[in-house]
Structure 1
Amino acid sequence: MKVLWAVMAVFIVLLQARLWIGEGSFAQVWQLQQKIEAQKAENGTLADRNERLYAEVRNLRSGKGAIEERARMNLGLIREDETFFLVVDP
């Protein structure tokens, strides 16, 4: 009878060891949940960035005003009937 109890105790210890340190253990599940949360946060940031880029593309495709604005700001576009003034800080 003592042998049966000893065998049962060994089985319980082995099952507990797998639960705490084996594959699919609490520690591993907790670590994976942390990684999932971090990835969701990163995905949210990237989704926001993508939405801003899509909005900019839609704006550029919709009219010439957005294209002209970008050309003026980034490339220094000046129309023929305009005068360019460069203000330099001392």
Structure 2
Amino acid sequence: MLRWVALVLIVLLIALQMKLWHGNGGVREVETLRAAVKKQGEDNDKLQQRNQALGADVDDLKHGEQAVEARARAELGLIKPGETFYQVVEKPGANQVPAPAASTGAH
């Protein structure tokens, strides 16, 4: 009789361990959810920083005349009366670095 009780308890223990490790809501699922929550928290922090930067830009545009002027100059080509606009156009290939000259001659 005692042997049967011990056997039933061992089988029950094994079944509970299987459910704990592999069942719905088990250890693996909890670890996966923890990793997902951590990643989402990091994403939220990045987005919050971006939102703060955009909020600062909006505040500058609402209250700062210089920010509006700078953006109008950069994006719309604003030129004030009396100013002269100069556009510098580089020649094609001007960005390339010249190749070093080959050395010729005996020592």
| TM more than 0.5 | yes
Letter in 2 for 1:7: V
Number of equivalences = 90
Give the TM-score, by structure 2 length: 0.79
- Structure 1 unaligned residues grouped into runs of 5+: none
Distance in 2, matches of 1:9 and 1:87, equals 84
Report the secondary structure of 2:82's partner residue. Answer: coil
Letter in 2 for 1:74: E
* Runs of 4+ more than 3 Å apart: none
The alpha carbon displacement at 1:25 in A equals 1.3
Aligned sequence identity (%): 39
- 1:28-87: CA deviation from partner (whole Å, max 9, x where unpaired): 111111111111111111111101100000101112211111000111000111001111
Distance in 2, matches of 1:63 and 1:30, equals 49
Identify the residue that residue 55 of structure 1 maps to in structure 2: 56
- Give the aligned CA root-mean-square deviation in angstroms: 1.0
Identify the residue that residue 24 of structure 1 maps to in structure 2: 25
- Structure 2 unaligned residues grouped into runs of 5+: 92-107
Identify the residue that residue 75 of structure 1 maps to in structure 2: 76
- Tell me which structure has the larger Cα radius of gyration: 2
Letter in 2 for 1:66: A
**Segment of structure 1 superposing worse, 1-10 or 70-79:** 1-10
Q: Which has the higher helix share?
A: 1
Identify the residue that residue 7 of structure 1 maps to in structure 2: 8
